[in-house]
Amino acid sequence: MSRVHVRFGSGAEIGNSHHGFRFPPDPNYIGVDFGLQPREPGAGYDGQELSDGRFPEFTIPQLVADIMPHHFITHSHLDHTGALPLLYKMYRARHGAEPNFTLYMSEIALETTERLLWEPTIRMADQDERPRPFDYGDIAGVRSRVRVVRSGEVLDFEHFRAVAFDAGHVPGALYWIFIPKNGADPVFTSGDISFRDLGIVKPAAPIPDHFGRFSVAVMEATYLGKVIPDRKAEMARLRTHAREVLARRGTLVVPVFSIGSRGLEVGADFEKHNIGPVYYDGMLKDAIRLYKDLGVAPAGFSEKNFVRGKSHMEELIRRHEPKVVIAAGGMLPEGSRAWLYAADAIGRYEDGVAIVGFQGPGTPGECLVKSADRGMVQFGSRRIRRGCTVEQFQLSAHADGSEIEALLARLDPDTVVFNHGESANIDAYIAKNSVKFPWKMIRASLNEEVIL
Ligand SMILES: [Zn+2]
């Protein structure tokens, strides 16, 4: 008899994460995450797509996703939780009844997802005069299905137990372990995981000793086979760069994602080393306020350098005094605050843009990183000749190649399924290492079922 089934509602790519596990004789899958891949601006949703359970952003195992009784959520990033209100909406459209599934997530993940992801998704659709993908009622509905969990708390179900532990990465992130009651070894799913001390976010908790070996590990592969340099050295390099820009009386723009602690970490580090003034702008301000409410931000963090609004932003750009601006818009999407500051900075020789996070293919951030000094940059809808410096710093909040291998050595699984990475990189890694490790390695692919 098979004892563990794994099925993927997305491929190995970064975006719209979703997979399911089934532990026979349980007939039901349980779900992990339900993310969203941002759609082309201007594209809408129609009712038929919803009732068919079809969304161009992602494909899900359609037969199982909306009847999964339990959903286990790792963390609050768009590609992991962005589509949860759609799950609620889809269930109602298809069944004409209130959903009876339950979502398990940390309190921090719930609060940050609702306020920094789901609500702004509606506001942005309104702003762009696009149809809303879901409504405030769907947010309230999905929220009503949430059962908040704490790290280390064991949840008991008929066919399995589930327990989550801190995964580092962003505030409130968890990795999940499922213990099937059919005799199979435990199952691990990493979500996004980091083993480094990020200051505000601590490293992932070690796998407790009482778990022996694992049957399956679903492992994020963002930096599979790659090296992330030492974080302290990268922060020091970033400080040196900031001092250089300020010395030439320029502005240093640091784009960050609002969810996560990168903006706070960089800002607090600069202030500690008297680098500044440091301004904060965009949804990052909401994030910092929320993190203060939730006890995540450093006590006494001051809001005095929050940019107050659009006219304050315009005044800061016009005055052009030496400063650091940390602004929301991690990959510099057009129209974000980070994009607006950077669009002004790109043409100026004294300014700089410091890239501190992952840049997705085709984003304005990636175009900027790939541009040549004094070359033309296609920056969203604008074409600008680059005068400013563009430097990248590796402050990544993911496990790198050796950290992934150390984790797998501890889990000692029969099978590893890599997801959340670049397909070509995962394939090359598997081809190179297939005889090196005792575990079987697979790349996740859409709707493929792995059976043990
Ligand atoms: Zn993430």
Q: What is the pLDDT along the chain (452 residues), one digit of tens a residue?
A: 899 999 988 777 777 788 999 999 999 999 999 887 755 444 444 445 544 555 555 444 444 555 789 999 999 998 899 889 988 888 888 788 999 899 999 999 999 999 998 998 888 888 878 788 889 999 999 999 999 999 999 999 999 999 999 999 999 999 999 999 999 999 999 999 999 998 889 999 999 999 999 999 999 999 999 999 999 999 999 999 999 999 999 999 999 998 888 999 999 999 999 999 999 999 999 999 999 999 998 877 888 899 999 999 999 999 999 999 999 999 998 889 999 999 999 999 999 999 998 888 888 999 999 999 999 999 999 999 999 999 999 998 999 999 999 999 999 999 999 999 999 999 999 999 999 999 999 999 887 889 98
Distance CA 285, CA 282 (A): 6
Q: Separation of 97 CA from ligand 1 center, angstroms?
A: 32
Distance CA 309, CA 394 (A): 30
pLDDT attached to residue 6 = 94
Q: Which residues contact 100 (CB under 8 A, 6 or more apart)?
A: 69
pLDDT attached to residue 11 = 75
Task: Output the six-digit token pair for 259.
Answer: 């969810």
Q: Separation of 18 CA from ligand 1 center, angstroms?
A: 13
Residue 426 has phi, psi (to 5 degrees) of -65, -45
Q: Separation of 259 CA from ligand 1 center, angstroms?
A: 9
CB 300: neighbour CB atoms within 10 A? 6
Distance CA 264, CA 291 (A): 10
**Are the beta carbons of 381 and 341 closer than 8 angstroms?**
no
Q: Separation of 75 CA from ligand 1 center, angstroms?
A: 7
Q: Separation of 169 CA from ligand 1 center, angstroms?
A: 7
Q: Separation of 191 CA from ligand 1 center, angstroms?
A: 7
Cα angle 128, 131, 135 (rounded to 5 degrees) comes to 110
Residues with CB in 5 Å of ion ligand 1 = 77, 192
pLDDT attached to residue 129 = 82
Q: Separation of 217 CA from ligand 1 center, angstroms?
A: 18
Q: Separation of 351 CA from ligand 1 center, angstroms?
A: 30
